[in-house]
Amino acid sequence: MDNNFEPDLSLLERVNPVFNTAKVTLFQLSGAGDTDAAAIAEKLGLTLEGTHNTENSTVLPEQLLAGIVNMEARFKTMSKLAEQSNCSVLVDLPCGYTPRAIQMSRKGLRFIGLDLPATISEAEPAILSLIEPEKREFVQFSAVDATNYASLKAALKDESGEVCITTEGLLMYFTDSEAGELCDNIRRILEEHGGVWLTADPEITLFYILTLQSICGDRFMEIMMNAKQQMADKSDVKLGGNRLLIKPQDAAGSMKTAMMFLAEHGLKAERMILHDHLPELNSLSSLTPEQAATFIENMKKCAFWKITLADRTKQLDASDAGSSGFDVSANLDAATLNMAFNGRLDTITAPHLLAFYEAHKDQVKSVRIDCKKLDYISSAGLRVLLIMHKGCVGGVTLFGVNDVVREILEQTGFDAAVNIEE
């Protein structure tokens, strides 16, 4: 294969049609009065019809206005938070066609725009042509796959300072597996460079719904369905398919699920309420005073997420898990419960261990037990281990098993019921 082969734009679009939605973003920022966005749109020859309308639907006036308000709020708030992070490098993933590179370069801030090849091939020349020559040294664009760590690492290979990674409108297109890969990749970048991940994505649907409700009133459902149809037409992929996305109909439950998902990948999140960080928005002048007031009030109900490395190992007080003749030490490493047993796990001591596990099971995906100092285990102890094994996705793994305990496990057939490391 010719490694220098570059497919034409139509092939890139067919492989990753989702990149077309980034052009909608650019047009919405232009509609909010962003002159840099308007200049990029002109360079690319974008029109309202071309960016918004599809074969199946046409953008409605209220929908267009809500999109403009929503996008200006999202874009400006993210830029503000990124600057306030005080990181030396802003990594925009995906960067799309937005003017953030232009605006950050004016301030002398290092900007790295990462996106799909189709987007970079169009956006990079258009945006760089609008940056003053002496400011272009602050800007770099790279084509990447967010689920491919090697491509991300290569894009950041010359950076030594802390990074602020921003994502807007990325996670909604990912499956659980892809979202997990992204989280693992960002964790590795933060481990290497330090810094923070700012994302609007977990609550992006809630954010949009609250904006529509502020502006559309009784026509909210009609316009929401039209917007959903257009987004699906533009991206050609199923939306909302991973556990990091908050479901408005079950915000509390899905938020807990999302936080657990991050913990499984060594990350933790802090919610940053939109109302507390909104900058001045030009687009609010296009709303009635009542609509603007409702929008600002609704921003108290949604947030951007500030994600950092989790304290992976949390020591647990396991004093209640033991009793006379049996001691337990434990810690929680991400979603893995690590325990070390000392003494006899029998009818008297097993209930204490079960109570300890059940107090922490909502945080646990797998259990690892050091059995080097476990002298004996009865049928009651085995039943507790089986409850743990069935109660978590990764099951129970025993290691350091001595000859006495191994004989009990083999005689009861329990050696085939759980994982045993040699």
d(CA 115, CA 192): 21
Q: Is the pTM of this model over 0.75?
A: no
Number of H helices, E strands in the chain: 16, 13
pLDDT digits (tens, 9 = 90+) for 12-34: 333 334 445 778 888 889 999 99
**Rounded CA separation 98/126 (Å):** 11
Q: Which CATH class is domain 313-421?
A: alpha beta
Q: Indicate the range of 265-269, 308-312, 405-409 predicted with least confidence.
A: 308-312
Query: Residue 63 pLDDT more than 70?
Result: yes
Confidence of residue 314 (pLDDT cuts 50, 70, 90): confident
**CA 36, CA 135: separation in Å to the nearest integer?**
15
Express as a percent the part of the chain with pLDDT over 70.
89
| Cα–Cα nearest to 261, from 149, 193, 175, 354 | 175
Distances (CA, A) of 52 to 17, 28, 57, 177: 14, 10, 9, 30
Sort strands 195-199 and 163-167 into parallel, antiparallel or unpaired: parallel
Q: Which residue has the higher pLDDT, 97 or 54?
A: 97
Counting Cβ atoms within 10 Å, is residue 153 exposed (0-12), middle (13-18) or buried (19+)? Answer: middle
Which pLDDT tens digit goes with each residue over 64-97? 898 899 999 999 999 999 999 999 999 999 999 9
**Cβ–Cβ under 8 Å, residues 203 and 303:** yes
Q: DSSP E strands: which ranges in 203-355? A: 267-273, 303-309, 313-316, 326-333, 336-345
Number of Cα atoms under 13 Å in the Cβ half of residue 285: 6
Q: What is the pLDDT of residue 10?
A: 40
> Is the distance from CB of 117 to CB of 9 less than 8 angstroms?
no
- Model confidence over 153-204: pLDDT tens digits? 999 999 989 999 999 988 988 999 999 999 999 999 999 999 999 999 999 9
Residue 58: the pLDDT is 73
Across the range 139-151, mean pLDDT stands at 96
What mean pLDDT is reported for the chain?
88
**Would you call 396 exposed, middle or buried from its count of C-beta atoms within 10 A (0-12, 13-18, 19+)?**
buried
- Tell me the C-alpha distance between 58 and 44, whole Å: 21
Domain ranges of the chain: 9-309, 313-421
Let me know if the fold of 9-309 is the same as that of 313-421.
Answer: no
- pLDDT at site 140: 97
pLDDT over 90 at 105, yes or no: yes
29 burial level (CB within 10 Å; 0-12, 13-18, 19+): buried
Does domain 9-309 fall under CATH 2.60.260.20? My reply is: no
User: Which pLDDT tens digit goes with each residue over 323-332?
Assistant: 778 999 999 8
Average pLDDT (258-282) is 95
Q: Average pLDDT in the 372-384 region?
A: 96
Higher pLDDT, 38 or 2: 38
Q: Is 77 within 8 Å of 69 (Cβ atoms)?
A: no
